[in-house]
């Protein structure tokens, strides 16, 4: 009897230990579904992770309507271990409600503050602790027709005088300095406003205004708007004039750039693909550059405005936060793998803000693209970054900044009146607690 | 009352229930919500605060809203005159010809059955500075239409109205035509004997005889011009610089871009009152015996 | 003799004016048709004229790259779904108003209902409706939009069907009642078969409204896969692409079904659309 009982006991105990040793911890991640991105993520992140790990099994669920489904899931105490949100303003809501887990201990343990670019890390810090990590970023730059510049002996401008001198030379040759247009997407104007804020008033000032230490009616902002007005209306920098700018659409202005009707194209990094494709069939060569600083108060080196995409966070009710943190760390640690994934997606998704170096890159990558990724990481890593209006402005002032810019261009209100209205809307948003969180600078 | 009739009464209500329910659920109930929301400063999420008539005060100070109302007013006036006059003349001329009736009717009516987006695409292309008429003129060396009328603040509203009018006047032609065909032929014959000119016949026979339909078309134009949205939104989004902004646009922007739910509801309520006043006015006229 | 010449000359002027006005409609439409078969490169050089080479591939591109099968299905789903709900609901109501108690209080209800139907601007209720749909998970679904369309077209459909059913001879109803028919059978066996013309007309008008509808389509459906054709055409002309050949071809694809229906049923279309106005 004793012997049988002992045998039975040891069998049970062995079985128990065996299963708990060999049972993998499951980590579930809800991601926003997208037909092109999903298979790439599945193969290069999920399957690769699971192949390397026996103790953790990662499962990604691609959700069509994650915004609507995540909230009830979080509230009911169930839901995934890791989940995506469209941006910082959403995380703020969830964090206020106590639905997100603080990642501070894992950040300290794994050294995420060093792996991520500083601004990216800061963007996810609320009340002193890390709650979310950005998945993607974009910024504003400009492209130029390299062959055209070489033929005419033009050099890239570094300050306002040089910008205006170059524009005059370009116009003398019968071309437009910049190509751009707003047909079909009126919010395009916010790109230009953001550019002038960050290259004339400067990111430090913009930051102070965002957190309320400065007023938007201060002279540097008003002057930025006045400069933009002058360049658009009086000097006709974009596509030959205000009305033409209003009438041109995506294909129009890209075509204009390729056809040598314009010398430069001021656009966001989403323009890389189309520019490369268009110029492939042309005999001209292209390159990109950071937007020149237009006023010394904006710093002595060019900065890159930030536009972050989605973020990832851990559910406060997750039963396996350590495993979840391990998954996140695995992604953050291998830059080459991230570059591989984002490269396949045209650098439009999963472009994580890591410290990319030369050695991380696939040798087949377009050198201009690579130069962008490394220079961006380097510059923003040392604090040379700015703020796009569409990421950091609350709704009401965010719509006002592009919609009413037209009124400034039309000459119906002065730049000062425009900024006064912007300040008024900001004050209202501040009073309603509707602000978007801004990471510490 | 015989039981038969009371039964029928109850059943007749049952048959009406589905439509009344669905209509109440989709239209009446949200409208009532709007009437309540306009008294708050809600922004779609977060807390709902009662603020009384504050939104209305802000509305009266809203420069853009006043501009939009003014544009709606111009819009209505434009539509009450241009397409009406053109449609009347064309309908009258159509009654005077024998062959080609069907052809003309189909052609004139065709834009009305096209979606607003298609009409907008056609005209946006035609007015495009590079690819449209402007481009064609440029190729000939003439500087005409080199700027799109949709992009100039002086002309934006009228350019948008033009596209909607192009789409709409065929509808009026058909309506007036229907009315004109109901006019007694003998009246015209009598006038012919008297030696009346075309214009005299038009003025003294046609117009008075189609008066009910004519007045009705005017009422329809007035009422339909209040929520006009599609063409403005697609062609100019109210720009440039709010020069083509209409009230429906303004509401849409406040509601879905700026998330000012309470304020947007206020605009909706104002629109409703405005239409209500118009309808009430005409109902009153009818009640007073005016032949409407 | 003088009068005859006068009539001839005036007929000439008549036709000129009429034809000129017809041109103002035909020419823009021709531009659309030309563009739909024009290759991309030609747009800068020959913006308005007849294309130098005909490129039917634009249609193929629009269909395949634009995932048009899905989009067409979306619009068709909306139309069929709306027709099913709307015609049923409006048919029942119209029958009640026309045959069951034509002089009762219901007529007052009708009057009020229609008045409300034409005078409430969509902007009054679109925002609360949006928020309601969001909390009911009907947002971004075709079913949600179908319900909306059914309600939007209900007053007109009810009115149209009712005015037709009013003319049905009451003796038929009496006879059926004597045979022991229930009220529902009166509807399905007597009213419905006799009213097929008005149902056809109503179906055509409602289909037109749903197919072309823009405001609600663009507001209530966000996911690309569910978007109907009007939303997609709108997206086509915006942010990231405006290849005019493709867009023109896509527009023709959108307009074609309606145009074909219109050619076959133009009398019903016109009668239906204008009866609202003429019968007031």
Tell me: the pLDDT tens digits for A238-281? Answer: 988 898 899 888 888 888 898 889 999 999 888 888 888 888 88
Q: Which of B15, B94, B226 comes nearest C121 by C-beta?
A: B226
Of B249, B257, B189, the closest CA to residue B65 belongs to: B249
**Which is more confident, C121 or B199?**
C121
Question: Per residue in A394-437, pLDDT tens?
Answer: 888 988 999 999 999 999 999 999 999 999 999 988 887 778 87
A438 occurs within a structural domain: no
Residue with tokens 């989004």: B237
**pLDDT surpasses 60 at B54:** yes
Q: What is the CATH number of the domain that holds B176?
A: 1.10.3720.10
A308: helix, coil or strand? strand
Residue B255: CB partners within 8 Å, gap ≥ 6?
A: B261, B264, C126, C127, C130
A399 interfacial to chain B (CB closer than 8 Å): yes
B33 occurs within a structural domain: no
Question: Per residue in C158-183, pLDDT tens?
Answer: 888 888 888 888 888 888 888 877 87
Instruction: Please give the residue of chain C at the shortest CA–CA distance from B104.
Output: C22
| Complex ipTM | 0.84
| CA dist., res. A295 & res. A292, Å (int) | 9
Q: Exposure pattern of C207-220 as b/e (b: 16+ CB <10 Å)?
A: bbbbbbbbbbbbbb
| CA dist., res. C73 & res. C151, Å (int) | 22
Is there a single domain that holds both residue A68 and residue A87?
yes
Of A156, A199, A170, the closest CA to residue A289 belongs to: A156
Cα B244–B249–B253 angle (5° rounding)? 120
DSSP labels, C18-72 = HHHHHHHHHHHHHHHHHHHTS-TTHHHH-SSS--SS--THHHHHHHHHTTHHHHH
Q: How many CB atoms lie within 10 A of CB C5?
A: 9
> Quick check: B216 and C255 CB within 8 A?
no
Of A184, A226, A180, the closest CA to residue A201 belongs to: A226
> Quick check: A396 and B150 CB within 8 A?
no
> Quick check: C215 and B229 CB within 8 A?
yes
> Quick check: B19 and C158 CB within 8 A?
yes
Instruction: Please give the residue of chain A at the shortest CA–CA distance from C134.
Output: A68
> Quick check: A243 and B257 CB within 8 A?
no
Q: Which of A93, A395, A412 comes nearest B241 by C-beta?
A: A412
Instruction: Please give the residue of chain C at the shortest CA–CA distance from A271.
Output: C240
Residue with tokens 């504050």: B54
Is there a single domain that holds both residue A273 and residue A199?
yes
Fold that domain C58-278 belongs to in CATH:
MetI-like fold (1.10.3720)
A250 interfacial to chain C (CB closer than 8 Å): yes
Is there a single domain that holds both residue A316 and residue A233?
no
Share of chain A above pLDDT 90, in %: 35
From the candidates B133, B155, B235, B237, which should be mutated to test the interface with A, based on the most A CB atoms within 10 A?
A: B237
The H-assigned helical ranges of A269-394 are 271-280, 321-333, 335-344, 367-381, 389-392
Q: Which of B30, B103, B113 comes nearest C125 by C-beta?
A: B30
Q: Which of B37, B104, B125 comes nearest C128 by C-beta?
A: B37
Residue A29, pLDDT score = 92
A39 occurs within a structural domain: yes
Q: Which of A241, A248, A406 comes nearest B239 by C-beta?
A: A406
B227 occurs within a structural domain: yes
> Quick check: C18 and B106 CB within 8 A?
no
B125 occurs within a structural domain: yes
A9 occurs within a structural domain: no
Distance in Å from the first CA to the final CA of chain A: 73
| CA dist., res. B2 & res. A435, Å (int) | 69
The tokens for A92 are 């703020």
> Quick check: A247 and B128 CB within 8 A?
yes
- Chain C CB contacts of A185 under 8 Å are 238-239
- Count: domains in chain B: 1
Q: How far is C189 from chain B (nearest CA, A)?
A: 16
> Quick check: B272 and C233 CB within 8 A?
no
Under 8 Å CB pairs connecting chains B and C tally to 274
Contact yes or no for A264/A177 (Cβ under 8 A): yes
The H-assigned helical ranges of chain C are 2-36, 42-45, 57-65, 68-95, 105-119, 122-135, 142-165, 170-178, 183-185, 192-194, 196-212, 215-220, 229-236, 244-279
Residue A300, pLDDT score = 84
Residue A87, pLDDT score = 75
- What mean pLDDT, rounded, does chain C reach? 82
Is there a single domain that holds both residue A226 and residue A79?
no
| CA dist., res. C198 & res. C163, Å (int) | 9
The tokens for A260 are 């040598």
Residue with tokens 């989940």: A83
DSSP H/E element including B189 = helix B185-194
| CA dist., res. A248 & res. A254, Å (int) | 10
Please report which confidence band the pLDDT of residue B259 belongs to, taking 50, 70 and 90 as the band edges: confident
A18 occurs within a structural domain: no
Strand partners, A85: A311
Contact yes or no for A304/A376 (Cβ under 8 A): yes
Last residue of a domain, one of A381, A403, A420: A381
Is there a single domain that holds both residue A283 and residue A405?
yes
Instruction: Please give the residue of chain C at the shortest CA–CA distance from A64.
Output: C223
What is the pLDDT averaged over residues A125-144? 88
> Quick check: A249 and C243 CB within 8 A?
no
Is there a single domain that holds both residue A117 and residue A155?
no
| CA dist., res. C137 & res. C135, Å (int) | 5
Contact yes or no for B230/B75 (Cβ under 8 A): no
Of A349, A350, A344, A341, the closest CA to residue A48 belongs to: A341
Parent domain of A298 = 138-306+385-431
Residues 227-246 of A with CB under 8 A from B: 241-244, 246
Taking CA atoms, C87 is separated from A94, B24, B26, C95, C192, in Å, by 45, 17, 17, 11, 11
| CA dist., res. B149 & res. B136, Å (int) | 15
A243 occurs within a structural domain: yes
Please report which confidence band the pLDDT of residue A215 belongs to, taking 50, 70 and 90 as the band edges: very high
From the candidates C87, C125, C158, C231, which should be mutated to test the interface with B, based on the most B CB atoms within 10 A?
A: C125
Residues 157-186 of A with CB under 8 A from C: 183-185
Q: Which of B43, B130, B258 comes nearest A432 by C-beta?
A: B43
Q: How far is C25 from chain B (nearest CA, A)?
A: 7
Q: What is the CATH number of the domain that holds A419?
A: 3.40.190.10
Contact yes or no for A377/A356 (Cβ under 8 A): yes
Is there a single domain that holds both residue A178 and residue A114?
no
Q: How many CA atoms lie within 13 A of A217 on its CB side?
A: 12
What is the pLDDT averaged over residues A105-118? 88
Distance in Å from the first CA to the final CA of chain C: 44
Residue B228: CB partners within 8 Å, gap ≥ 6?
A: B72, B75, B164, B246, B248
Instruction: Name the pTM for this structure.
Output: 0.84
A53 occurs within a structural domain: yes
B214 occurs within a structural domain: yes
Ordered by start, the domain boundaries in chain C are 2-42, 58-278
A360 occurs within a structural domain: yes
Chain C residues interacting with chain A (CB cutoff of 8 angstroms): 44, 134, 137, 139-140, 223, 237-243
What is the pLDDT averaged over residues C254-269? 86
What is the pLDDT averaged over residues B265-284? 87
Indicate the pairing of strand A140-145 with strand A286-289: antiparallel
Residue B152: CB partners within 8 Å, gap ≥ 6?
A: A243, B240
The H-assigned helical ranges of A76-145 are 88-96, 104-110, 112-115, 118-123
- Helices A321-333 and A335-344, axial angle in degrees (round to 10): 80
| CA dist., res. A102 & res. A128, Å (int) | 10
Is there a single domain that holds both residue A343 and residue A398?
no
Q: Which of A65, A68, A184 comes nearest C242 by C-beta?
A: A184
Q: Which of B45, B240, B259 comes nearest A406 by C-beta?
A: B240
- Count: domains in chain A: 2
- Chain B CB contacts of A406 under 8 Å are 239-242
């Amino acid at each position: 009897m004793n012997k049988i009982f002992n045998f039975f006991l040891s069998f049970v105990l062995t079985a128990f230990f065996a299963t708990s040793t060999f049972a993998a911890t499951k980590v579930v991640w809800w991601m926003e579904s997208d037909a092109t991105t999903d298979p790439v993520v599945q193969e290069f992140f999920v399957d690769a992770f699971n192949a390397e790990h026996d103790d953790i099994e990662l499962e990604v669920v691609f959700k069509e309507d994650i915004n609507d489904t995540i909230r009830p899931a979080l509230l009911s105490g169930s839901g995934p271990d890791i989940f995506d949100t469209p941006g910082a303003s959403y995380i703020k809501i969830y964090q206020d409600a106590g639905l997100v887990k603080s990642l501070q201990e894992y950040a300290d343990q794994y050294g995420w503050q060093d792996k991520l670019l500083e601004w990216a890390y800061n963007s996810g810090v609320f009340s002193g602790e890390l709650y979310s990590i950005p998945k993607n970023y974009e910024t504003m730059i400009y492209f130029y027709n390299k062959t055209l510049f070489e033929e005419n002996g033009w050099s890239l401008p570094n300050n306002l005088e040089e910008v205006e001198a170059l524009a005059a030379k370009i116009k003398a040759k019968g071309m437009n300095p910049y190509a751009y247009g707003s047909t079909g997407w009126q919010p395009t104007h916010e790109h230009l406003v953001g550019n002038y804020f960050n290259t004339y008033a400067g990111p430090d000032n913009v930051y102070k205004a965002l957190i309320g230490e400065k007023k938007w009616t201060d002279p540097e902002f008003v002057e930025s708007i006045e400069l933009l007005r002058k360049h658009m209306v009086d000097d006709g920098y974009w596509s030959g004039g205000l009305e033409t700018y209003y009438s041109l659409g995506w294909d129009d202005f890209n075509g204009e750039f390729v056809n040598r009707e314009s010398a430069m194209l001021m656009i966001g990094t989403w323009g890389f693909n189309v520019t490369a494709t268009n110029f492939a069939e042309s005999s001209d060569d292209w390159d990109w550059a950071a937007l020149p600083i237009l006023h010394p108060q904006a710093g002595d080196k060019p900065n890159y405005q930030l536009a972050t995409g989605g973020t990832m966070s851990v559910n406060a009710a997750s039963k396996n936060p350590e495993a979840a943190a391990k998954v996140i760390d695995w992604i953050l640690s291998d830059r080459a793998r991230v570059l591989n994934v984002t490269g396949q997606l045209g650098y439009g998704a999963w472009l994580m803000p890591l410290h990319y170096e030369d050695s991380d890159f696939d040798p087949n990558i377009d050198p201009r693209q690579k130069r962008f990724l490394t220079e961006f990481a380097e510059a923003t890593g040392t604090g040379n970054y700015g703020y796009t209006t569409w990421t950091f402005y609350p709704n009401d002032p965010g719509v006002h900044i592009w919609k009413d810019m037209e009124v400034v261009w039309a000459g119906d209100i002065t730049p000062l009146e425009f900024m006064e209205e912007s300040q008024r809307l900001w004050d209202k948003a501040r009073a309603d607690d509707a602000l978007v969180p801004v990471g510490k600078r | 009352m015989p039981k038969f009739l009371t039964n029928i009464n109850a059943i007749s209500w049952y048959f009406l229930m589905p439509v009344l329910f669905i209509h109440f659920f989709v239209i009446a109930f949200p409208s009532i919500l709007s009437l309540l929301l306009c008294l708050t400063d809600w922004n779609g999420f977060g807390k709902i605060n009662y603020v009384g008539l504050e939104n209305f005060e802000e509305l009266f100070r809203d420069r853009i809203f006043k501009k939009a109302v003014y544009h709606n007013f111009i819009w209505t006036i434009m539509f009450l005159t241009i397409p009406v006059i053109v449609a009347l003349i064309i309908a009258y001329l159509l009654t005077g010809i024998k062959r080609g009736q069907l052809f003309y009717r189909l052609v004139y009516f065709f834009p009305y059955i096209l979606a607003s987006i298609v009409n907008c695409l056609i005209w946006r292309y035609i007015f495009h500075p590079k690819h449209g008429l402007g481009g064609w003129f440029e190729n000939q060396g003439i500087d005409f239409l080199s700027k799109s009328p949709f992009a100039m603040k002086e002309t934006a509203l009228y350019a948008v109205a033009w596209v909607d009018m192009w789409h709409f006047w065929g509808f009026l032609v058909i309506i007036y035509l229907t009315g004109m065909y109901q006019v007694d032929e003998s009246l015209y014959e009598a006038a012919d004997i008297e030696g009346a000119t075309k214009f005299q016949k038009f003025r003294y026979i046609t117009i008075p005889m189609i008066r009910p339909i004519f007045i009705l078309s005017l009422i329809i134009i007035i009422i339909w011009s209040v929520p006009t949205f599609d063409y403005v939104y697609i062609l100019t989004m109210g720009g440039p610089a709010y020069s083509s902004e209409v009230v429906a646009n303004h509401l849409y922007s406040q509601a879905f871009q700026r998330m000012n739910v309470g304020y947007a509801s206020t605009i909706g309520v104002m629109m409703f009152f405005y239409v209500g006043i118009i309808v009430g006015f005409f109902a009153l006229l009818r009640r007073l015996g005016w032949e409407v | 003799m003088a009068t005859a010449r006068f009539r001839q000359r005036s007929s000439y002027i008549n036709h000129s004016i009429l034809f000129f006005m017809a041109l103002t409609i035909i020419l823009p439409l021709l531009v659309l048709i030309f563009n739909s078969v024009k290759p991309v490169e030609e747009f800068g050089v020959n913006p308005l004229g007849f294309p130098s080479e005909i490129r039917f591939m634009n249609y193929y591109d629009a269909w395949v790259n634009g995932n048009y099968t899905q989009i067409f299905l979306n619009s068709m789903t909306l139309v069929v779904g709306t027709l099913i709900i709307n015609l049923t609901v409006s048919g029942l109501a119209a029958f009640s108003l026309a045959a069951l108690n034509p002089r009762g209080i219901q007529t007052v209800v009708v009057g009020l209902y229609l008045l409300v139907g034409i005078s409430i601007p969509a902007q009054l209720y679109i925002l609360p409706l949006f928020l309601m749909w969001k909390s009911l998970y009907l947002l971004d679904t075709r079913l949600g939009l179908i319900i909306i369309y059914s309600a939007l077209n209900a007053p007109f459909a009810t009115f149209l069907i009712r005015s037709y059913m009013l003319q049905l001879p009451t003796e038929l109803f009496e006879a059926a009642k004597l045979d022991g028919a229930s009220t529902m059978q009166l509807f399905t066996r007597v009213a419905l078969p006799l009213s097929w013309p008005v149902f056809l007309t109503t179906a055509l008008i409602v289909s037109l409204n749903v197919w072309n509808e823009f405001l609600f389509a663009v507001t209530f459906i966000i996911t690309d896969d569910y978007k109907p054709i009007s939303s997609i055409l709108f997206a086509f002309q915006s942010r990231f692409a405006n290849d005019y050949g493709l867009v023109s071809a896509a527009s023709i694809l959108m307009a074609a079904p309606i145009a074909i229906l219109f050619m076959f049923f133009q009398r019903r279309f016109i009668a239906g659309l204008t009866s609202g106005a003429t019968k007031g």
